[in-house]
Amino acid sequence: MDWKTRLKEMGILWQYSGKEDEPHALWTSGLHADTFNNGSKLLENPALLQEVITGLIEKLQTNPKYKKPDWVVGPAMGAVVIAYELARKLGVKFAFTEPEQTSEGKMQILKRFEIPSDESVLVVEDAISTGGSIMKTIKTLEKNKIDILPIVASVVNWSGENEVENKYEIISLVSDIPRRWPPESCELCAEGSTALRPKANWDAFTEN
């Protein structure tokens, strides 16, 4: 299946077309971009979500590095439902990490769950852009000496990388390299387009 086309058709994946008055995406990282995956629109459509989870499992199972994990873990909040549904479909346990300010900075902390070090974990994200959240989740699991599979799963991968930390292969349904810029050098701003937070302004992104 062409997942990029499918997610576009369902109004989940948006890409800048250059139409008059069309905004462009302001990512959480602060970067401006011509692409955005609205995971909330996927989560509010349970039938499509199950379709996506099935597709992700099929792709994972064709990878020689994959083995059935004991747990599926994702960072809160965006990956919680994805990780839960993936765990449910695989028939394994589920957990999530959550953000907390620590002496090392803002990290993803495994606060509510105890995962034995001899049980394996598959780390899942809804979308990887800079990879910040998933790296923090991996570091938390590594710090707790938890066995992590050498692959991570994501619905979309915008990072332009094939691995996280040169160690964990990224398996995704959509892999692309969006155009993205720091605010001070954004080409779309220079063309007159306005940078907006996509989820808070979704109608402005999809009305044209």
Higher pLDDT, residue 111 or 190? 190
Where helices occur in 26-131 by DSSP H, the ranges are: 39-43, 46-61, 80-90
Q: Residue ranges of the domains in the chain?
A: 3-206
Summarised one tens digit per residue, pLDDT across range 81-90 is 999 999 999 9
Give the pLDDT of residue 190.
95
Give the residue among 159, 172, 160 at the shortest CA–CA distance from 123: 172
Residue 98 tokens read as 């959550």
pLDDT band at 208, cuts 50/70/90? low
So what's the architecture of 3-206 in CATH?
Answer: 3-Layer(aba) Sandwich (3.40)
Summarised one tens digit per residue, pLDDT across range 39-52 is 899 999 999 999 99
Give the pLDDT of residue 132.
83
- Grouping H, G, I as helix, E, B as strand and the rest as coil, residue 123 is strand
- Grouping H, G, I as helix, E, B as strand and the rest as coil, residue 144 is coil
Judged against a pLDDT cut of 90, whether residue 102 lies above it is answered with no
Judged against a pLDDT cut of 90, whether residue 57 lies above it is answered with yes
- Work out the average pLDDT over 61-77: 95
Rounded to whole angstroms, how far apart are CA atoms 43 and 165? 28
Give the pLDDT of residue 50.
95
- Work out the average pLDDT over 94-106: 82
Give the pLDDT of residue 107.
75
- Work out the average pLDDT over 107-130: 90
Judged against a pLDDT cut of 70, whether residue 74 lies above it is answered with yes
pLDDT band at 21, cuts 50/70/90? confident
Q: What is the mean pLDDT of the chain?
A: 91
Judged against a pLDDT cut of 80, whether residue 104 lies above it is answered with no
Residue 39 tokens read as 């995971």
Higher pLDDT, residue 1 or 183? 183
Residues in contact with 147: Cβ distance below 8 Å, sequence separation at least 6, in sequence order:
117, 118, 119, 120, 121
Higher pLDDT, residue 91 or 176? 91
